[in-house]
Amino acid sequence: MDAIAFTRLVAPELGASSASKSGPASDAGEGEFADLLRQGMDRLNELEKNADAQVNKLLSGEPVELHRVVLAGEQASLAFDLMMSVRNKVVDAYQEVMRMQV
């Protein structure tokens, strides 16, 4: 599964917003990239809270299906891995820009 397909799976609102824009013809605002990152981090936070809640329900003896607990944990883990990949790419891009000679 590539990162784009995973992004659409984990954060459908991000996939829809980027798919609706037509590339160079769209006006990209200054804060748009930061807003996308913030939305992704908010979604990651929601997934992690959901996974924690599912585990707590299981440990407290509440009736919860085991596969839902595992699925919530895997979704949070994959979303975290994706966010770390995005962070690493942003850091690499920043370092590349800083190495450019003016």
Q: Residue 25 has what pLDDT? A: 47
pTM (global) more than 0.85: no
Q: Is position 90 within any domain? A: yes
Mean pLDDT by 10 residues, the chain (102 residues): 56 51 54 89 96 96 94 96 95 95 84
Q: Residue 6 has what pLDDT? A: 53
Please work out, in degrees rounded to the nearest 5, the angle formed at the alpha carbon of residue 29 by the alpha carbons of 96 and 33. Answer: 50
Q: Is position 75 within any domain? A: yes
What is the distance between the alpha carbons of residues 86 and 90, in angstroms, rounded to a whole number?
A: 6
Q: Is position 20 within any domain? A: no
Q: What is the tally of structural domains in the chain?
A: 1
Domain containing 58: what range?
Answer: 3-10+30-99
Q: Where are the beta strands (DSSP E) in the chain?
A: none
Q: Is position 25 within any domain? A: no
Cβ–Cβ under 8 Å, residues 34 and 27: no
As a dihedral over the C-alpha atoms of residue 70, residue 72, residue 78, residue 84, rounded to 10 degrees, the angle is -130
Cβ–Cβ under 8 Å, residues 11 and 4: no
> First-to-last CA distance in the chain?
39
Q: Is position 24 within any domain? A: no
